[in-house]
Amino acid sequence: MAKYLLLKHYRGGPAPIVDTPLDQWTPEDQSAHFRYMEEFADRLRESGEYVASQALSPQGTFIRFDGGGKPPVTDGPFAESKDLIAGFMLIDVDSFDRAKELAAELSAAPGPGGAPICEWLELRPMYDNNPMDEG
């Protein structure tokens, strides 16, 4: 089994087919979209391929270590940034092909009017151990 992170973006990546922001969808369309994602996660729980998922707020803060004292804090993510992550799902599957299959299925979540949004998802493999040990 290998773990993969499926990243959903508010923006960034190739141009989306459906570019209407979620907050401009009807309440019914929003509910159908979230229901699809919950049912998708439930199916993965049943198959043993689900690890975790969470939607993320567009608001955030950047913090870094800067020696002693208080760490510097800035607003962010910035509106002009290239991409902004909307949420993630972590899966544990037998192969990269299975990960691609699931990502494509999640990409078909319904959007306005119930049509698949065909959103681009970023698929990232996770290291099983320290990446420096894999040389």
pTM of the model: 0.80
Is residue 50 pLDDT above 60, yes or no? yes
pLDDT digits (tens, 9 = 90+) for 11-23: 666 777 888 888 8
Answer yes or no: is 4 within a domain: yes
Answer yes or no: is 63 within a domain: no
Q: Is the peptide bond before 77 cis (omega within 30 degrees of 0)?
A: yes
Answer yes or no: is 76 within a domain: no
Q: What is the largest CA-CA distance in the chain?
A: 54
Residue-range definition of the domain harbouring residue 95: 1-55+83-123
Rounded distance, CA 62 to CA 67, Å? 16
Please say whether the beta carbons of 106 and 37 come within 8 A: yes
Answer yes or no: is 65 within a domain: no
Rounded distance, CA 62 to CA 78, Å? 10
CATH of the domain at 105: 3.30.70.1060
Answer yes or no: is 66 within a domain: no
Interacting residues of 12 by C-beta distance below 8 A, sequence separation 6+:
82, 83, 84
Position 23: which residue type? D
What pLDDT is stored for residue 52 in this prediction?
96
Answer yes or no: is 24 within a domain: yes
The structural domain count of the chain equals 1
pLDDT digits (tens, 9 = 90+) for 109-135: 999 999 999 888 999 999 876 666 655
What pLDDT is stored for residue 56 in this prediction?
87
Answer yes or no: is 61 within a domain: no
Answer yes or no: is 129 within a domain: no
pLDDT digits (tens, 9 = 90+) for 61-111: 778 787 777 777 776 655 545 567 889 999 999 999 999 999 999 999 999
